[in-house]
Structure 1
Amino acid sequence: MLLLLLSTLQSCSEDVQRSMKAIPTAFGQLNEIVIVMDDELWESPVGDTIRYYYSSAYPLLPQPEPVFDLRHFTPLELKKDPLRKELRTYMLVGNLSDEDSPTAQMIRKDIGEEMSESARGDITKNNAAGRDKWAKGQLLLYQFAYSNQDLIKVLKENYPAIKKRVNKFDEKKLESYAYLNGVNNNLINEVKESIGISIRMPSDYFMAINDGEVIWMRKETDKTSSNIMLRKVKYEDQEQLSKENLIAMRDSLGKKYVSSTIEDTYMQVNDEDLPVIFNTTKVNGNYAVEGRGVWEIVNDFMGGSFISYLILNPNKGELLFVDGFLHAPGEDKRDFMEQLDYVIHTIKFQ
């Protein structure tokens, strides 16, 4: 179901107040959604549905982390602490048949009576979106119905569109994290000259290996190691774009190039503890296959997450193998993996 963009949020008294003082800029973390709803609904199967979908496991990490971090406030709790109204992403959820519900009243006021009433007879008209209600740079998503049963159905059916909307809204923040200190032009030029690929590398990456077969770029901090490997191969047939071939290619590079300080160690895909998730996709318009999973170091106690791509360059009859992998023991990994994936998606063929 498509989200409807509200041209205005109908909150006259708040508009008057805002006109008399500076409007703050919204703050908050990546992948964070503030759920605004009454306590009774939050503790009911409606709240369970929200947690089931929006707190589901991000694919695919060694230890489970949610797709989104959720915070829950009632309208009264928002009113008590003005800073709670200055976060980035909100989802207001209400049963509009409950006239005494503070959240339902807020939703009606924001979306207007016409839209509220249209949802009474048509369950497809059950969501809306607004911007900058309390601060600049906010996204507000509204989900509503006239019974708890219908509201649960709405939440289930709208989840893919809502997730996509929030991820799109988060892109600028994700970019600011990935390129906090700018880009590494020397690295960008070296990759372009070596294999004819454009990739926008952050400034804190360095060239670890460029031996004519593989390019390996790394970013090292006290807590994390982020890595991107590139290798071009001739495209011969469709079988190369299989899950088995992607894993085999990754394992071959892992065995040749990646080890720990212990002798006879090497990297390999661990698809016994967690299966590799495999999909077809596109990277900057080019057909690709994608694999997500976890890696381990054989004969040592090290592991982490990876995302690999085989991207088809039909103009040159080539495949580009791209692997992003992370080692971050004791750290949350979701946001770091998203940064790796964001950088990978800047790849363009020359």
Structure 2
Amino acid sequence: MKKIFTLFAISIFLLSCTGNDKFVLRGSVGKINKVMVVTKASDWNGDLGKEIRNSFGELMVGLPQPEPILSVSQIAPNGFGSMMKVNRNILIIGESDQEKFYIKKNVYAKPQTIIYVYGTDDASVIKMFKKYEKQILDAYIESDIEMTQGLFSSRKIDNANYKTLTNLGVSFTIPDNFKTVDDTGEFLWLRQHLTSGIAKTGSNNILVYSIPLIDEEKVGENIVSVRDSIGEKYIPGSDQETMHMITEEAYTPFTSEVKLAGKKAYETRGKWEVKNDFMAGPFVNYSVIDKKNNRVIVFEGFTYAPSVNKRAFLFELEAIGKSMQIK
């Protein structure tokens, strides 16, 4: 009887733990855009490691300094203990008895994304990684976007406080350290002063506005001219007569079609500068086609952070832009 009671008590305990993640999972650790790769040192130093580093190390478009999309580190399987298992983004890759690819969430910690890639030999492992390369990159980026949005949601601004957001019927998950520069009812400019290290003189900036939808087929090709006209009208330099923000003429922005707020949209990455001045930096622009209201809703985030890497700053702006909701 005592043995039965003990087994029953253990069963209840295990059920209560697995039924509620907060009793089981620790908080994950790890920097944004960082992936820990679990694989043998011989694989990491060979063709597989080279393939992974080349893939994750692809340079992010639009940044003035070369910065990879994702940073990677490696640990051997026998070193993948309890302390390592709480990393937020993990890639486990190596040989198995069959080819496999799958993604699991919140296995050892929360939030966490673990991707498993297996092949039957060295060539098979590389083939499987290359086959799912885009899906792997997208999964880690999406995971970090969601994590960043979750952090911001705990201290988000009240969108109803802004005339432009109210008039446009849009909302974003924007942290409350962004302050108003301009809010006309048609154009919103918010700014966050950077406070860390050498970037103290810099800022992250958000612009929100809309333009009429005249020709859907030409929205993508008109993004640069639209943002330049907005810069001339609303974003002056130190000399308001001769200086304003423009798209950097020496660098062609990269535009791709995406989906945002359930609608067709264009993501544009490039560099901005102030005409007749030395200020410059990267931007990410989302132009969302809202056919129902015959308009294009534009969110743009741009960073001014001289002398420091800017990937993390621009990623936060990307996360805010991708939180867009349209009423």
TM-score bin, normalised by smaller chain:
0.7 to 0.9
Matched, 1:170 2:144: yes
From 63, 66, 72, the counterpart of 1:64: 66
Aligned equivalents of 1:211, 1:90: Cα separation in 2 = 45
SS in 1 for 2:132: helix
Matched, 1:234 2:207: no
Deviation of 1:247 (Å) = 0.2
Aligned equivalents of 1:238, 1:133: Cα separation in 2 = 44
Deviation of 1:135 (Å) = 4.1
Does the 8 Å CA contact 1:87/1:138 hold for their aligned counterparts?
Answer: yes
Matched, 1:216 2:194: no
Does the 8 Å CA contact 1:262/1:300 hold for their aligned counterparts?
Answer: no
Does the 8 Å CA contact 1:188/1:200 hold for their aligned counterparts?
Answer: no
Q: Which residue of 2 aligns with 1:126?
A: 100
Deviation of 1:159 (Å) = 0.9
Deviation of 1:294 (Å) = 0.8
Q: Which residue of 2 aligns with 1:278?
A: 255
C-alpha change, 1:256 and 1:135, in structure 2 (3 Å) is closer
Runs of 4+ in 1 over 6 A off after TM superposition: none
Does the 8 Å CA contact 2:62/2:269 hold for their aligned counterparts?
Answer: yes
> Which segment drifts farther, 45-54 or 138-147?
138-147
Q: Which residue of 1 aligns with 2:176?
A: 203
SS in 2 for 1:170: helix
For residues 81-115 of structure 1, what are the alpha-carbon distances to aligned partners after superposition, in whole Å with 9 as ceiling and x for unaligned?
Answer: x522321222122134xxxxxxxxxxxxxxxxxxx
Aligned residues: 302
Q: Which residue of 1 aligns with 2:266?
A: 289
C-alpha change, 1:49 and 1:94, in structure 2 (3 Å) is same
Counterparts of residues 336-347 of structure 1 (less than 5 Å): 336-347=313-324
Which residue identity lines up with residue 147 of structure 2 in the other structure? Answer: K
Q: Which residue of 1 aligns with 2:95?
A: 95
For residues 21-62 of structure 1, what are the alpha-carbon distances to aligned partners after superposition, in whole Å with 9 as ceiling and x for unaligned?
Answer: 976433222222111111111111111000000121122211
What TM-score, normalized by structure 2, do the two folds share? 0.82
Aligned equivalents of 1:129, 1:282: Cα separation in 2 = 22
Deviation of 1:321 (Å) = 2.7
SS in 2 for 1:315: helix
Aligned equivalents of 1:280, 1:131: Cα separation in 2 = 28
From 29, 44, 60, the counterpart of 1:27: 29
From 292, 297, 306, the counterpart of 1:320: 297
Q: Which runs of 5+ in 1 are unaligned?
A: 1-14, 97-115, 120-124
Deviation of 1:309 (Å) = 2.6
Which residue identity lines up with residue 88 of structure 1 in the other structure? Answer: R
Q: Which residue of 1 aligns with 2:4?
A: none
What TM-score, normalized by structure 1, do the two folds share? 0.77
Aligned equivalents of 1:212, 1:22: Cα separation in 2 = 47
Aligned equivalents of 2:206, 2:108: Cα separation in 1 = 40
C-alpha change, 1:188 and 1:307, in structure 2 (3 Å) is farther
Does the 8 Å CA contact 1:219/1:227 hold for their aligned counterparts?
Answer: yes
For residues 276-335 of structure 1, what are the alpha-carbon distances to aligned partners after superposition, in whole Å with 9 as ceiling and x for unaligned?
Answer: 111222221122222111111222222111112322222221222322211122333222
Matched, 1:184 2:157: yes
SS in 2 for 1:34: strand
C-alpha change, 1:133 and 1:283, in structure 2 (3 Å) is closer
Does the 8 Å CA contact 1:191/1:198 hold for their aligned counterparts?
Answer: no
- Give percent identity, aligned residues only: 24
Deviation of 1:134 (Å) = 4.4
SS in 2 for 1:337: helix
Aligned equivalents of 1:259, 1:234: Cα separation in 2 = 24
Does the 8 Å CA contact 2:163/2:183 hold for their aligned counterparts?
Answer: no
From 242, 253, 264, the counterpart of 2:230: 253
